[in-house]
């Protein structure tokens, strides 16, 4: 007979794990919101360029972070069985794969300008975006290290340190950005390059601090995380690879869908792209809460799966979905009540393009309210499935939803039917809705009915 844990205990467990993770994700997002706010006051064209550059950076980052996300359920399952050796092995090989990926994709950032031009972007915006990425692209390596170490620490239920390190990064980024973008405090005025230098510095700082904690904190020393780090572990590398690459591709399909929407916005105009970037930043802040709860669900589900406890697995999944749904309703109400005020936070009062950007942004934010719930549902379903180390079929479902339906629908609504920027976002609603349905059905019709023990 499987031991029963009350729903209240599951909620407390999810919140204890999830709230620091949510805070860390929110702080991480604040880094990019800070850049958007600063550049929105610097100029519309630099803002559009950094929106394009950072969106492209994160497409590649999300793909590479699959190995870090794979570490989380693997460490959670190993820890629940008392297997400290596999905790170390999975984390090390996650770092190996992440660093290898980061080195391989660096050249893409150097030649990003011609790529943006080939995709139909404004030449001035493309040039500024390339300037940004030629500096910020080196931040891929520390950013991927951060993802792996965060996953390792979260699976060991040590989520507070990542929160505080990321909050410190927000303040450092704001200070450096204020100095280097505008030329304040005697620094040179570097515009988009200043934003890139600030981002690179903060990513490096966060990586150094998290690695130091993971290796030097007394309770964690027993895992000897970096001792003989250079030694390969081909068996575990293969296991992390098999789980990580479909997770990475799933993230690529999703983030690529939003990048494609940014590119289509660029076809409409610079102001539409700027409004889209602001609306996406606001929506992404709320999404970080759903993502954090999804990460907590991955850990709780991974622990239950590692122990073969199907009752705990199902109850934890149900409570995670409930918490995410309640938050989604609150955010939807906020978007509907004060969209203009939210958009206006990102623009200077005397910016001549402000009225047009605010008007466009309000419409986009209203649509964001419409897909808030399905977006929450699909990311939660992905978290539940990752907890049982199910990634390949969800990857296929995601590709069909985002690219087989979502992007074609965006193009048809925007350019064939003539709905413009609103049509692009309507297509996103369609793609996310299908993903939510397929992924939820897979979890509840599969893993939630029958628990498979982890393979040795």
User: What DSSP line would sit under 19-49, residue for residue?
Assistant: HHHHHHHHHHHHHHHHHHHHHHHH-HHHHHH
Say what the pLDDT of residue 262 is. 80
Say what the pLDDT of residue 214 is. 93
Identify which of 140, 131, 150, 151 has the alpha carbon closest to the alpha carbon of residue 63: 140
Residue with tokens 């979890």: 443
Identify which of 228, 286, 190 has the alpha carbon closest to the alpha carbon of residue 92: 228
3-state secondary structure of 430: helix
Cβ burial 72-103 (10 Å sphere, 16+ → b, else e): bbbbbbbbbbebeebbbbbbbbbbbbbbebbe
Say what the pLDDT of residue 435 is. 94
Reported as a pLDDT band with limits 50, 70 and 90, residue 232 is confident
Helix axes 192-216, 160-182, angle to 10 degrees: 160
Reported as a pLDDT band with limits 50, 70 and 90, residue 453 is very low
Specify the higher pLDDT residue, 425 or 153: 153
Burial class (CB in 10 A: 0-12, 13-18, 19+), 326: exposed
Identify whether the C-beta of residue 421 lies closer than 8 Å to the C-beta of residue 265: yes
3-state secondary structure of 226: coil
Does the structure show a pLDDT above 70 at 353? no
Residues 101 and 351: their CA atoms lie apart, in Å, by 41
Phi, psi of 5 (to 5 degrees): -110, 135
* Across 81-102, average pLDDT: 91
Helices (H), 269-353: 270-307, 310-337, 339-344
Say what the pLDDT of residue 450 is. 58
* Across 241-262, average pLDDT: 87
Say what the pLDDT of residue 140 is. 92
How does pLDDT run across 303-329, given as a tens digit for each residue? 888 888 888 888 888 999 999 989 888
3-state secondary structure of 122: coil
Helices (H), 217-269: 234-268
Reported as a pLDDT band with limits 50, 70 and 90, residue 180 is very high
* Across 35-58, average pLDDT: 82
Tokens of 192: 């988009």
* Across 420-426, average pLDDT: 86
Mean pLDDT, the chain, integer: 86
Specify the higher pLDDT residue, 345 or 428: 428
Identify which of 430, 283, 290, 276 has the alpha carbon closest to the alpha carbon of residue 369: 283
Say what the pLDDT of residue 258 is. 81
Say what the pLDDT of residue 447 is. 66
Say what the pLDDT of residue 1 is. 46
* Across 286-291, average pLDDT: 86
């Amino acid at each position: 007979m499987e031991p029963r844990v009350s729903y209240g205990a599951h909620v407390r467990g999810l919140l204890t794990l999830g709230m620091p993770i949510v805070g860390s994700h929110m702080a991480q997002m604040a880094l990019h919101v800070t850049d958007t706010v600063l550049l929105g006051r610097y100029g519309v064209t630099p803002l559009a360029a950094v929106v394009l550059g950072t969106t492209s950076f994160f497409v590649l980052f999300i793909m590479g972070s699959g190995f870090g996300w794979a570490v989380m359920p693997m460490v959670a399952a190993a820890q629940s069985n008392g297997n400290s050796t596999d905790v170390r092995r999975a984390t090390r090989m996650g770092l190996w794969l992440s660093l290898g990926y980061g080195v391989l994709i660096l050249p893409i950032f150097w030649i990003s300008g011609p790529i943006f031009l080939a995709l139909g972007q404004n030449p001035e915006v493309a040039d500024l975006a390339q300037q940004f990425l030629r500096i910020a692209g080196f931040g891929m390596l520390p950013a991927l290290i951060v993802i792996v170490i965060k996953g390792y620490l979260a699976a060991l239920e040590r989520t507070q340190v990542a929160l505080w390190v990321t909050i410190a990064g927000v303040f450092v980024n704001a200070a450096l950005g204020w100095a280097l973008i505008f030329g304040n405090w005697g620094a040179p005025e570097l515009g988009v390059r200043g934003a890139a230098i600030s981002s690179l510095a903060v990513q490096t700082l966060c990586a150094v601090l998290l690695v130091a904690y993971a290796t030097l904190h007394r309770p964690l020393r027993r895992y000897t995380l970096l001792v003989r780090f250079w030694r390969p572990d081909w068996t575990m590398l293969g296991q992390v690879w098999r789980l990580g690459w479909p997770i990475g591709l799933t993230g690529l399909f999703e983030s690529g869908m939003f990048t494609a929407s940014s590119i289509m916005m660029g076809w409409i105009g610079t102001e539409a792209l700027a409004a889209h970037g602001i609306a996406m930043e606001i929506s992404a802040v709320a999404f970080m809460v759903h993502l954090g709860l999804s990460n907590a669900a991955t850990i709780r589900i991974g622990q239950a799966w590692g122990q073969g406890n199907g009752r705990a697995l199902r109850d934890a999944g149900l409570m995670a979905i409930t918490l995410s749904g309640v938050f989604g309703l609150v955010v939807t109400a906020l978007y509907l009540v004060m969209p203009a005020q939210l958009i206006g936070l990102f623009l200077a009062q005397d910016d001549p393009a402000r009225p047009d950007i605010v008007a466009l942004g309000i419409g986009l934010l209203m649509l964001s309210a419409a897909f808030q719930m399905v977006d929450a549902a699909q990311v939660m379903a992905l978290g539940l499935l990752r907890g049982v180390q199910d990634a390949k079929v969800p990857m296929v479902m995601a590709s069909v939803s985002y690219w087989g339906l979502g992007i074609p629908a965006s193009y048809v609504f925007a350019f064939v039917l003539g709905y413009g920027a609103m049509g692009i976002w309507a297509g996103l609603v369609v793609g996310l809705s299908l993903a939510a349905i397929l992924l939820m059905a897979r979890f509840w019709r599969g893993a939630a009915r029958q628990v498979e023990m982890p393979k040795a």
